[in-house]
Every structure is written in structure tokens, then in C-alpha cells.
């Protein structure tokens, strides 16, 4: 019952705010202001209630172990393809609920201040709440298709929010890109669902999980090839996860998604939606556990993304893009944790990351707000005294991100790296090394961001500088709440999530086969492994200090010296250009070619148009014979009679 | 059940409206026009309300035909007037009765010339469409199936756009060519089975080699209607030139004739041939899905784009039908129903701005959301339904078809599913160019948002689209038994001829 209320409150808020959008169309200034305020109060209020209920559920389900599923009503039923709208709540869901509802509530409140000057406040609040509802539907799904519903639903909300400022062509392009690239991932997800259904004859999660052990050696013929069934299913599903979580290859939409308002970036493109892929892998752990190949792929993809995105993050100049690539990289960590069967470590990092990354984004938003919508770090600098609270909060976020104790990221990142090391497998080692390198770069770009934004001499113009101001309370308070998370979310739940209380806490929500010992062994790694993240973190911070505080003349020299590498990184490994050449342009060109050449020239040309013109030509020739002169006709008749007579003679006569 | 000749009433009630319009006499043409509109709306709404009886009384637990009527007609040839609906056809009847009043409303102000004749054409069209879905006699079916062409031809040819004559003839020729072949096949059927009773024909066992020819002949007719690649080129032209309401009926109901034909004739009457030609259907459907989606991407005309997207969506229908799985066939029917609502709505959406600006060129628009928020929302919902977003009607049909396809052949499912990606691309690209961006065009500055009449048109369609997405059981429940019966029928017959193994079951 509680979960039903929790899930549907945001939908109610969204609908109410949606009605207000239309109510405020022709409203005068005063009335419009009232409606704006009403929409903010309603959506924020409902979200805060949801967040409180999430805490209640966490205690009830997570700590007291009352996992349950509430069936609402039948959704689709066709033969054995049967599923219901249902709310499944177990420990995994309850943890996700905490992250989603808390961050969402904070972002809602923050938006009251951030979107203050925007003319379409109710619409923004409507979309935010809609997103939250869809995300909750995703995490409470008890079958794959409802998960897909939430999956595409958050995609829709993301599309609407990225394109929120619809007058900007770049925002529209980014919105479409996000939706379409995600669809590519969803294509894999959908095929994975179908394959699951063919193998298990159900898409109900618990039923599948029960029958996986019996099918662990099953063979499934897909595309004419016999695959190990669990491997192909998990890989197809993972393609979906890669799309939503912006993993290498399908990541191109995420940086562009920064076109959306900053609260959106914090909520959707950092803390919640993009972690859906990680959630999916953890949720389906009873399936992934039975395919070592799939797990290895997850590990490699995650580790590669972690390092790949971190390299790009080091050279970006847009403050939001740096954090976006950082998100991409951190998602990689979560994936390779799952890949070495340390699902709970992945979810642990997901949670801590949710808090400190939302904090960083909202802090960046506060900076952007202060700098009159400037996002380029090259035009910032030296403003820390003017916005000290934001500055301090950004430090907390960065410390957590870089994994400095006792901040949250320290605990979660450490256990992730240790688990990778302790997996004692080739891919595990790869993930550990890549993760460690990425940790170095993470510390570097985080402090590069801090130094470029807040320190040194200011590169902003006079007018902007004069306007720099600390954000209002309504924006700072959510930041404080998130900062609390960034500080405490690591140490406090450590033993529950990945320590001694682990087995009891997660219960049936996550499956780890006995021979997958990475997480257990993670607690017994050599000291060097244990401290290495800290060491590389310190090196990263130190390097950033040298390059951006001590000797700010060096970075341009490096860039000039290694022009090729620099350009390669600055242009994000040329993925966009490649995809543009490989897919986007050809699709349009082929489309045009098929239209003009295929439909126009070939089909119509040989078909109706061809036939009709042939008929016309024939008719013209025939009509040319009709001259109107009597003797022509007489002559023709004569020939005819002659022909007839001769025919008669020859056939009958002989 | 009430003792009413309900199907006959539904079929011929529109003709009563035609009579009523015919006797309208007045000196002022305006009065005639408005009376004609009112009568058409009144009659078609009445028919819709009456058709609700079907919804409430239909027995969802039997595969038998219901509301059956049978009267001897041409006894010498065994031809009778035979009507009835089962779980496959009943919802198509309702789709028709729903869309007709909406079409009348949609033409309220945009048709100003020959209003009387226009309304008559639509009411006659409704008669033929309902009759087609209810007919249980080969002869009766053929009459309705063909007769539909006449009012449609006139609607496009008289009230259409600049190239209306070309489009009308193209439509006519394509359809006629297929129909002639179908007629030959029907005569063959009659020759073999000595009956025109559809129910009896379903049970008749035609020799396999004859079946193949008959199947091809029927295919010629149905493939044009669906339309399947490569006999689809009449559709974009017909849509572009047709008045809005004409497009609505064309996309909403007429395209379903082909899919319905496959389900009613090809599968049950020619099961072996259907199995034999399944690869052909798959190939053409996949080509249709990918080819037309790519073509849609390059379109510059709104109606043409939606027309091409219709072809792609109908590709899913033909795939699902021939998977011979419960999900595939139910998905195909569902896809036809939801496409009937959604594509009809999309053509109405185009109609709204066409009525204001009088161009269908996409480049002529942009930034409409600033002046038309309600319109933007409506368009968004239907665009998402067209894309197949879960929670809308479009999703359910697509996912069921793909499930069925994946069971039957994974390649088919994978290729068809690429259409889902491309669908998102062309639909959102269209939406962006029309709705989003800065409102800069001079003639758009004063454009008005939807009026009450327009909202009244879209409200039921919006409601149904969401309903079909959230609680599809209301609709699927109609089909279950009939589809199961159909599959059993086909499989039994395949088993008898020893071809069941081939079907992979």
C-alpha cells in the first residue's frame, strides 16, 4: 500500500502541474505567478512525501526483510505472454527508492530557485515529476516488460527535459539524439526480452529466476546460430543497459544531454536514470550469474568506459560536460563491479554516486547561476570568495568523487576496485588497472574543475563579475542535504551493503553464486591494493594543483606539444563524427535515394506511370491512323478483307 | 441476445442518412450544406452508439460468429445474404463506426463545396466498410470490398488536392488489378467447393497446388490494400491528395482490409499455401519496414511522411499474421486497431494546421508550440504512440508482433525491430521541425490553437490511445478465443497434410 502511494504521488503531481501549464496560458502576470508557485508547492510537496515514504519502506523492506509484490491489474495477456502492472519491493528496490526519491525531491526544491526566471515553470515541474514516476515504475517492475515501460518512460521524460528550451536548435538535436541512441539500446533490450520469453515462456522475473538454474546449459538458436542461452539473453539485455547508462559506443548522447537545464542533468543524467542500466544488471543478477561470458563483457565494457570517459573529462572546458564525462566514467565503475559479481558494491557506488554527483551538478548549477549562465570554465576563476557556500559544497562533492576518506566515494570506490582485484581473473585485473588509472584522472579533472572555476585570477568580464552572488536558500538547502549524503552515505551503510551484514540485508534481491568470491575476497586484499586508490588520488590532485595553480602556463604547452592527442581527446575520440558519417548521413541519403530512385523511378516508372505512358504512346499511334479521310478507311477495309479472304482460303481451302 | 438484425442495421443505417440528405431542398446552399453536415453527424453518431451494443453483448468466450443473419439471395448459385462477426472482425466494425463521425466533424469547415455530395459519399463509404467486415458470403464480401473503392475514388478525385486525378486513378488502377485476380480466385473457390459460404469455405480442403494459385491471387489484392512493398506507391499519393477525412478513413480503415483479408481468407482457407509463402511475406514486410522508414526520413511533406510510416507499421501487421503464433496474430490485429486510431489521429493533426496555413510542407512550419500548446501536446501523444512508446496503444501491438516473430524467426524479429529505431528518428525529426524551434515565419505569428470542435475530435482518440496502452485486455479479450480457433484450424489442416513439421511446431 505504501509503495503504491509512493509511486503514484509523483504522477499525480505531474498531472496537476500539467493542468496548470494549460491554465496559465492566457493568465495575467499575477495569476501566472500564483500558478507557478502552486505547481512548485504541489510537486515538491508530493515528492517530499514520497521521499519520506521511501525511508519508511527502506526500514520495512530493507532492514526488516518484508519484501513483497503488489499486483495492480493485468497489463498484456496474449497466450502465455502474460504480465501485470505490479510493484515489486525488495531490498534492491528500496535502496533505489531512497536514491531516486531523495535526489528527486532535492532537485524539485532546487528547481524552485534555479528556474525562477523561466517562463514555463509548471511545465518543468510536470516533466520532473513525470520522470520520477517513470523511474519508480522501472525499479518496482516485477516483469521485464514493465521495466521496459519505465525504461522508455524515463527516456521520454529525458527527451522532453533535454529539449526543454525548445527554441534552441542544439537542445532539440540533443533531445532527439538521446531518444534515438537510447532506442538503439532498447532494440537489444527488446530482443533480450523476446529471447527470455522464448526460453522460459514467461517474462515474470521471479518465475524466470526460479527456472534459470534448470536452463543454465540450455541452447538457444538466435540468428541461425546456436548460442548458450543465458549468454545471448544477458548480452542482448546488456545492450539496453549500455544505451541507458551511456557506456562506450552508446555514450554519445549523454554529454549532449547537458543542453537541458542543470537540475535535469543532476537528476536524470547523473543520479538516477543513467544508473538504470546498473540497476538492471543487479536486478537480473540471477540471470547474469549463469553466464560467465556475459559477466566478462560487462566487466570489460565497464572498465573501458571508466577510463575512456575519464580521458575526455580531463580536457573539456564546459563545466557541465566535465561532470557528464565523469558520470559516464563512474557508471563504468558500477558496471565492472557488477561484472565481477560484486553487484552490491556496484549498487553501493550507485547510491553514493547519486548523492555526490547530484551535489556536484547542482553546485555547478549554482556556479552557472552565479555567473549569469556562463558554463565555460575558461571564463571563470577566482570567484570562491564570492560564493563560499557553493565553493565548500563543491569541495565536498569533489572529495567524495575522488574517493578521499571519510567521504562516501572513498568507501564505495575502494570496494569496487578491491573487488575487481580480488576477482583474480583476467578481466578483473584489466578492470582494476583501468579503474585505478581512471581514479587518477578523476582526481585530476575534479581539481582542475575546482581550480579553473574558483581559483586563480578571474577571466570573466566585469559585468558578469559584478553580478556574482550566492544562490538563494531554496537552492542551498537541497545542496546541504545532498552534501550530507556525500559525507555519510559511505561509512554508515558500509557493513550492510558490502560488509558483514550483506547476506542478511540483500536477501533474495541479489544472487551471487558461491564460486563468485570477488566481494568476499575484496576484504582481504594486500595493503598496497587497498591504499592505491588513495595514492593515485593524491597524485591526481597534486598534478592538478601544479598545472592549474602553480604553473598555469604548462597546460597550453602540453596541449601544443601533443596536439594530436589533445585534439583527439577534445573531440571526444571523434565518436560523433564517426557515427555521423557511418549512420546518420547514410540513412538520410539512402532514404532520399530509395524515395526518388526506388519509389519514383523504378516502381512508379515501371509500374503505373510506365504503363500509363505506354498506353498514351500507343493511343497516339493508333489515333494517328484516324485521319478522317474516307479513302484511308476504305483502303484499310480493303486490306482487312484481303487478309481475311486469304486466311480463309489458306486454311479452309487446303 | 437481443433479437435484432444488428449488423444489417449498422450496415445500412448510413444509407438512411443518405436518403435524408438527398431530400434536403433549399434555395440557400449554405442551409443545404449545414443540414447535410448535421444529418451526417447525427446518423454516423447514431450508428456508433448502436455499435456499442456489439461491445457490450459480444460473447468473448466463443469463437463462433455472432449476430449472424442469413437469408437466401440467389439460391441457384447458393449465394445468400450472410452476415456475422467474430472476435477478429468485431472491433474493426467498431473502429469504422468510431472514425466515421470523427471524419464528418473533421470536414465540418474544411469542405465548403459540394458538401451534400461529400457527406453522401462518406455515409455510403461507411455502409460498404461495415458490410465488408461483417460479410460471411464470398459474393457479398466481394461486392462490399470492391464497392468501397468507388466513394473513395470520388472523395479523392473531387475534393482532393492539385494532383487529385492522378492519385485517384493510381489508387483505382492498383486496387482494381489486384481485385480482378481475387475475383478469379473466388470463382475457383466456388468451382471447387460449390459454396460461397465463408464459414464452410474455411473448413474446405483445397488441393495444395490450386491453393498456391488462389493464394497468390488473393495476395495480389490484399497486398495492394495493406499496402506491401513494392505495390505501395499509390498510398503516399492518395494520402497527399486526399482531403483530411479521406486520409483518416484510408489509413484508419481501408488499409486494414488487406490484413483482415489475410486473416479471414488466406490463413484459414489456404493454410498450406500460406505456410509455403510465409518467407515471401516476411521478406516483403521487412523490406517495407526498413525501406519505407528510411524513405520517411527524407520526406518534406507531412502527409507523405505519415503515409510512409503507415506502410512501415503495416509491415508489422503482415509479419505478425504469418507467424502463426498467438502473440503474432493478436499483435497484428491489435496493431491494426491501434494504427487505425493513431494514424487517423496523425492525419487529423496534419489537417489542423493545413486548415490554417494551407500547406503540407514541413519547412513551412516551426515553433508552433509557442502559439499552440494544446496542439503540441496532442501531436506529442500521437507521435509517441506511433513510435510505440510503452503505455500507448502502439506499443502493445508492436511488442506482441515482435514476440511472435522472434518465436518464428529471430532474423525477422531483429530486422523488424530496426524499424522501431528508425521510427523514432523520423517521427521525432518531424515533430521537431513542426513544433519546436523559434516561431519566425510571418504567416504563423497569428496561428490559433485548437478550437472546441477540434478538441472534441481528438479527445476520444487520445483517450482510446492511452486506454489501449494501459489496459489492452479490454480489446485483447475479444480476440483470444477466435485467434486460438484460427490457429487450431490452420494447424490441424497443416497436420493433415503433414506440413506441421515445416512450420516448426
DSSP B157: H
Asked if omega into A406 is within 30° of 0 (cis), the reply is yes
Q: Which of A300, A415, A301 is nearest to A351 (CA)?
A: A415
Kindly determine whether residue B471 and residue A73, on different chains, have CB atoms separated by under 8 Å.
yes
Q: Which of B377, B372, B375, B314 is nearest to B343 (CA)?
A: B314
- pLDDT on residue B342: 95
Q: Which of A236, A292, A238 is nearest to A426 (CA)?
A: A292
What does the pLDDT look like over A407-432, one tens digit per residue? 988 999 989 999 999 888 889 999 99
- % of chain A surpassing 90 pLDDT: 44
- CA gap A121, A32 in Å, rounded: 10
Here the cell at position B232 is 505501395
What does the pLDDT look like over B282-341, one tens digit per residue? 999 999 999 999 999 888 899 999 999 999 999 999 999 999 999 999 999 999 999 999
**Contact, A306 vs A436, CB < 8 A?**
no
DSSP B399: H
Here the cell at position B220 is 495480389
pLDDT of A653 higher than 60: no
Residue A164's pLDDT band, with cuts at 50, 70 and 90, is very high
Average pLDDT over residues A145-173: 92
Residue with the bigger pLDDT between A501 and A198: it is A198
Asked if the C-beta of A75 comes within 8 angstroms of chain B's C-beta atoms, the answer is: yes
The pTM score is: 0.91
- pLDDT on residue A239: 93
- CA gap B138, B140 in Å, rounded: 6
What does the pLDDT look like over A282-336, one tens digit per residue? 999 999 999 999 999 999 999 999 999 999 988 888 999 999 999 999 999 999 9
Kindly determine whether residue A75 and residue B471, on different chains, have CB atoms separated by under 8 Å.
yes
- % of chain B surpassing 70 pLDDT: 98
pLDDT of A379 higher than 90: no
pLDDT of B164 higher than 90: no
- pLDDT on residue B505: 47
Mean pLDDT check: name the lowest of A157-171, A304-318, A420-434, B1-15. B1-15
Kindly determine whether residue B414 and residue A190, on different chains, have CB atoms separated by under 8 Å.
no
Asked if omega into B230 is within 30° of 0 (cis), the reply is yes
Average pLDDT over residues B92-98: 94
Task: List phi, psi (to 5°) of B102.
Answer: -65, -35
Most confident of B26-30, B183-187, B443-447: B183-187
pLDDT of A445 higher than 70: yes
- pLDDT on residue B91: 93
- Chain B partners within 8 Å of A225 (Cβ): none
Range 224-253 of A in CB contact (< 8 A) with B: 224
Q: Which of B170, B390, B410 sits opposite A222 (nearest CB)?
A: B410
Residue A585's pLDDT band, with cuts at 50, 70 and 90, is confident
pLDDT of B199 higher than 70: yes
Kindly determine whether residue A77 and residue B473, on different chains, have CB atoms separated by under 8 Å.
yes
- pLDDT on residue B343: 94
Mutate which: A591, A592, A605, vs B, most B CBs within 10 A? A591
Q: Helices A2-23 and A121-139 meet at what angle, rounded to 10?
A: 160
Residue A625's pLDDT band, with cuts at 50, 70 and 90, is low
- CA gap B505, B499 in Å, rounded: 10
Residue of chain A whose alpha carbon sits nearest to that of B174: A608
- CA gap A503, A226 in Å, rounded: 36
Task: Indicate the pairing of strand A225-228 with strand B66-74.
Answer: unpaired
The alpha-carbon radius of gyration of chain A (Å, integer) is 31
Range 133-162 of A in CB contact (< 8 A) with B: 145, 148-149, 152-153, 156, 159
What DSSP letter does each residue of A597-654 carry, written as one string? IIIIIIIIHHTHHHHHHHHHHHHHHHHHH----HHHHHHHHHHHHHHHHHHHHHHHH-
What does the pLDDT look like over A105-152, one tens digit per residue? 999 999 998 888 888 899 999 999 999 999 999 999 999 999 999 999
Kindly determine whether residue B476 and residue A598, on different chains, have CB atoms separated by under 8 Å.
no
Query: How far off is chain B from A530, nearest CA to CA, in Å?
Result: 45
pLDDT of A505 higher than 70: yes
- Cell 502527409 found at: B303
Helices (H), B410-472: 410-435, 452-470
Q: Give the SS3 label for residue A291.
A: coil
Residue A572's pLDDT band, with cuts at 50, 70 and 90, is confident
HEC string for B190-208: HHHHCCCEHHHHHHCCCCH
- Chain B partners within 8 Å of A179 (Cβ): 424, 428
What DSSP letter does each residue of A377-424 carry, written as one string? GGG--S-TTTSHHHHHHHHHHHHHHHT-TTSHHHHHHHHHHHHHHHT-
Q: Residue A379 contacts by C-beta under 8 Å, 6 or more apart in sequence?
A: A371, A459, A460, A461, A464
Asked if the C-beta of A180 comes within 8 angstroms of chain B's C-beta atoms, the answer is: yes
- pLDDT on residue A652: 59
Query: How far off is chain A from B471, nearest CA to CA, in Å?
Result: 6
Residue B500's pLDDT band, with cuts at 50, 70 and 90, is low
Query: How far off is chain B from A185, nearest CA to CA, in Å?
Result: 9
**Contact, B481 vs B406, CB < 8 A?**
no
The alpha-carbon radius of gyration of chain B (Å, integer) is 22
Average pLDDT over residues B230-256: 90
- pLDDT on residue A374: 83
- Cross-strand bridge partners of residue A76: A83
Kindly determine whether residue A79 and residue B326, on different chains, have CB atoms separated by under 8 Å.
yes
What does the pLDDT look like over A518-543, one tens digit per residue? 888 888 888 888 888 889 999 999 99
- Chain B partners within 8 Å of A17 (Cβ): none
What does the pLDDT look like over B381-404, one tens digit per residue? 999 999 999 999 999 999 999 999
- % of chain B surpassing 90 pLDDT: 51
ipTM: 0.91
Amino acid at each position: 500500500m505504501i509503495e503504491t502511494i509512493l509511486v503514484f504521488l509523483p504522477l499525480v503531481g505531474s498531472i496537476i502541474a500539467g493542468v496548470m501549464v494549460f491554465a496559465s496560458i492566457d493568465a495575467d502576470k499575477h495569476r501566472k505567478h500564483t500558478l507557478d508557485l502552486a505547481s512548485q508547492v504541489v510537486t515538491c510537496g508530493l515528492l517530499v512525501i514520497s521521499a519520506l515514504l521511501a525511508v519508511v519502506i527502506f526500514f520495512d523492506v530493507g532492514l526488516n526483510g518484508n519484501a513483497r509484490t503488489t499486483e495492480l491489474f493485468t497489463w498484456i495477456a496474449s497466450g502465455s505472454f502474460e504480465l501485470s502492472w505490479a510493484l515489486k519491493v525488495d531490498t534492491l528496490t528500496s535502496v533505489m527508492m531512497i536514491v531516486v526519491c531523495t535526489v528527486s525531491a532535492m532537485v524539485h526544491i532546487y528547481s524552485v530557485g534555479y528556474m525562477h526566471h523561466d517562463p514555463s515553470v509548471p511545465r518543468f515541474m510536470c516533466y520532473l515529476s513525470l520522470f520520477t514516476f517513470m523511474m519508480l515504475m522501472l525499479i518496482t517492475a516485477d516483469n521485464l516488460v514493465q521495466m521496459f515501460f519505465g525504461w522508455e518512460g524515463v527516456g521520454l521524460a529525458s527527451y522532453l527535459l533535454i529539449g526543454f528550451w525548445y527554441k534552441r536548435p542544439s537542445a532539440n538535436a540533443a533531445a532527439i539524439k538521446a531518444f534515438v541512441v537510447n532506442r538503439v539500446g532498447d532494440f537489444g533490450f527488446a530482443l533480450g526480452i523476446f529471447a527470455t520469453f522464448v526460453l522460459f515462456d514467461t517474462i515474470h522475473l521471479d518465475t524466470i529466476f526460479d527456472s534459470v538454474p534448470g536452463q543454465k546449459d540450455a541452447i538457444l538458436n538466435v540468428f541461425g546460430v546456436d548460442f548458450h542461452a543465458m549468454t545471448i539473453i544477458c548480452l542482448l539485455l546488456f545492450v539496453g543497459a549500455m544505451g541507458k547508462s551511456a557506456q562506450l559506443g552508446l555514450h554519445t548522447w549523454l554529454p549532449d544531454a547537458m543542453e537541458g537545464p542543470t537540475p535535469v542533468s543532476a537528476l536524470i543524467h547523473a543520479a538516477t536514470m543513467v544508473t538504470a542500466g546498473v540497476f538492471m544488471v543487479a536486478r537480473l543478477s540471477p540471470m547474469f550469474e549463469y553466464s560467465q561470458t556475459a559477466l566478462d563483457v560487462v566487466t570489460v565494457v565497464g572498465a573501458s568506459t571508466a577510463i575512456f570517459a575519464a580521458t575526455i573529462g580531463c580536457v573539456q572546458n564546459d563545466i557541465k560536460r566535465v561532470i557528464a564525462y565523469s558520470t559516464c566514467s563512474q557508471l563504468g565503475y558500477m558496471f565492472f563491479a557488477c561484472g565481477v559479481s560484486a553487484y552490491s558494491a556496484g549498487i553501493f557506488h550507485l547510491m553514493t554516486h547519486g548523492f555526490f554527483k547530484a551535489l556536484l551538478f547542482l553546485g555547478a548549477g549554482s556556479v552557472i547561476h552565479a555567473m549569469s549562465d556562463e558554463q565555460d570554465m575558461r571564463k571563470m576563476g577566482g570567484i570562491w570568495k564570492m560564493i563560499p557556500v557553493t565553493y565548500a559544497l563543491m569541495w565536498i562533492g569533489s572529495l567524495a568523487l575522488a574517493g578521499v576518506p571519510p567521504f562516501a566515494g572513498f568507501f564505495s570506490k575502494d570496494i569496487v576496485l578491491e573487488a575487481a582485484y580480488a576477482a583474480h581473473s583476467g578481466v578483473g585485473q584489466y578492470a582494476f588497472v583501468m579503474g585505478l588509472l581512471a581514479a587518477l584522472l578523476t582526481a585530476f579533472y575534479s581539481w582542475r574543475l575546482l581550480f579553473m572555476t574558483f581559483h586563480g585570477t578571474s577571466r570573466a568580464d566585469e559585468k558578469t563579475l559584478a553580478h556574482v552572488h550566492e544562490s538563494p536558500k531554496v537552492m542551498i538547502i537541497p545542496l546541504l542535504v545532498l552534501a550530507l549524503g556525500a559525507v555519510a552515505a559511505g561509512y554508515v551503510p558500509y557493513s550492510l551493503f558490502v560488509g558483514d551484514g550483506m547476506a542478511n540485508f540483500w536477501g533474495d534481491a541479489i544472487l551471487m553464486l558461491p564460486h563468485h568470491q570477488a566481494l568476499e575476497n575484496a576484504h582481504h586484499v594486500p595493503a598496497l591494493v587497498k591504499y592505491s586508490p588513495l595514492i593515485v588520488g593524491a597524485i591526481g590532485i597534486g598534478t592538478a594543483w601544479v598545472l592549474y595553480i602553480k604553473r598555469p602556463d604548462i597546460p597550453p604547452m602540453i596541449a601544443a606539444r601533443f596536439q594530436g592527442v589533445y585534439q583527439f581527446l577534445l573531440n571526444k575520440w571523434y565518436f560523433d563524427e564517426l557515427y555521423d558519417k557511418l549512420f546518420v548521413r547514410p540513412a538520410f541519403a539512402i532514404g532520399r535515394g530509395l524515395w526518388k530512385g526506388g519509389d519514383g523511378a523504378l516502381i512508379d516508372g515501371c509500374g503505373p506511370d510506365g504503363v500509363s505512358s505506354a498506353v498514351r504512346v500507343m493511343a497516339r499511334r493508333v489515333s494517328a491512323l484516324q485521319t478522317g479521310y474516307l479513302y484511308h478507311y476504305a483502303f484499310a477495309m480493303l486490306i482487312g478483307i484481303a487478309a481475311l479472304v486469304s486466311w480463309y482460303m489458306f486454311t479452309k481451302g487446303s | 441476445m437481443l433479437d435484432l438484425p444488428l449488423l444489417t442495421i449498422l450496415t445500412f443505417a448510413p444509407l438512411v442518412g443518405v436518403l435524408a440528405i438527398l431530400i434536403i431542398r433549399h434555395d440557400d446552399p449554405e442551409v443545404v450544406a449545414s443540414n447535410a453536415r448535421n444529418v451526417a453527424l447525427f446518423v454516423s453518431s447514431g450508428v456508433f452508439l448502436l455499435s456499442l451494443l456489439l461491445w457490450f453483448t459480444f460473447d468473448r468466450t466463443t469463437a463462433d460468429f455472432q449476430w449472424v443473419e442469413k437469408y437466401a439471395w440467389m439460391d441457384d448459385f447458393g449465394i445468400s445474404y450472410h452476415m456475422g462477426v467474430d472476435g477478429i472482425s468485431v472491433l474493426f466494425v467498431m473502429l469504422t463506426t468510431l472514425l466515421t463521425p470523427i471524419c464528418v466533424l473533421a470536414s465540418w469547415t474544411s469542405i465548403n463545396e459540394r458538401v451534400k455530395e461529400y457527406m453522401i459519399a462518406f455515409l455510403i463509404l461507411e455502409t460498404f466498410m461495415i458490410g465488408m467486415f461483417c460479410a460471411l458470403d464470398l459474393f457479398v464480401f466481394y461486392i462490399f470490398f470492391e464497392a468501397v473503392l468507388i466513394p473513395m475514388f470520388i472523395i479523392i478525385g473531387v475534393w482532393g488536392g492539385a494532383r487529385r486525378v492522378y492519385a485517384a486513378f493510381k489508387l483505382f488502377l492498383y486496387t482494381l488489378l489486384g481485385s480482378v485476380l481475387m475475383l478469379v480466385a473466388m470463382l475457383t473457390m466456388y468451382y471447387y467447393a460449390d459454396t460461397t459460404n465463408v464459414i464452410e469455405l474455411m473448413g474446405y480442403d483445397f488441393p495444395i497446388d490450386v491453393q498456391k494459385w488462389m493464394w497468390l491471387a488473393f495476395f495480389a489484392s490484399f497486398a495492394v490494400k495493406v499496402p506491401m512493398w513494392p505495390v505501395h506507391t499509390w498510398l503516399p499519393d492518395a494520402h497527399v491528395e486526399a482531403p483530411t477525412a479521406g486520409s483518416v478513413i484510408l489509413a484508419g480503415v481501408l488499409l486494414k482490409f488487406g490484413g483482415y483479408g489475410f486473416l479471414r481468407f488466406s490463413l484459414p482457407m489456404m493454410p498450406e499455401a500460406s505456410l509455403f509463402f510465409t518467407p515471401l511475406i516476411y521478406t516483403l514486410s521487412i523490406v517495407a519496414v526498413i525501406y519505407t522508414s528510411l524513405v520517411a526520413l527524407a520526406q518534406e511533406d507531412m502527409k507523405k511522411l505519415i503515409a510512409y510510416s503507415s506502410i512501415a507499421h503495416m509491415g508489422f501487421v503482415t509479419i505478425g499474421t504469418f507467424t502463426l503464433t498467438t502473440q503474432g496474430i493478436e499483435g497484428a490485429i491489435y496493431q491494426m486497431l491501434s494504427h487505425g486510431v493513431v494514424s487517423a489521429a496523425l492525419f487529423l493533426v496534419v489537417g489542423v494546421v493545413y486548415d490554417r496555413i494551407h500547406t503540407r510542407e514541413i519547412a513551412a512550419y516551426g515553433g508552433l508550440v509557442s502559439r499552440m500548446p494544446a496542439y503540441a501536446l496532442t501531436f506529442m501523444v500521437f507521435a509517441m504512440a506511433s513510435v510505440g512508446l510503452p503505455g500507448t496503444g502502439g506499443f502493445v501491438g508492436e511488442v506482441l508482433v515482435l514476440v511472435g516473430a522472434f518465436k518464428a524467426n529471430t532474423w525477422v524479429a531483429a530486422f523488424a525491430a530496426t524499424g522501431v529505431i528508425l521510427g523514432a528518428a523520423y517521427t521525432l525529426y518531424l515533430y521537431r521541425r513542426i513544433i519546436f524551434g523559434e516561431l519566425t515565419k510571418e504567416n504563423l505569428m497569428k496561428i490559433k490553437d485548437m478550437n472546441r470542435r477540434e478538441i472534441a475530435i481528438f479527445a476520444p482518440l487520445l483517450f482510446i490511445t492511452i486506454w489501449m496502452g494501459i489496459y489492452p485486455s479490454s480489446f485483447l479479450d475479444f480476440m483470444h478465443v477466435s485467434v486460438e480457433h484460427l490457429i487450431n484450424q490452420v494447424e490441424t489442416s497443416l497436420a493433415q497434410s503433414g506440413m506441421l513439421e515445416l512450420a516448426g511446431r
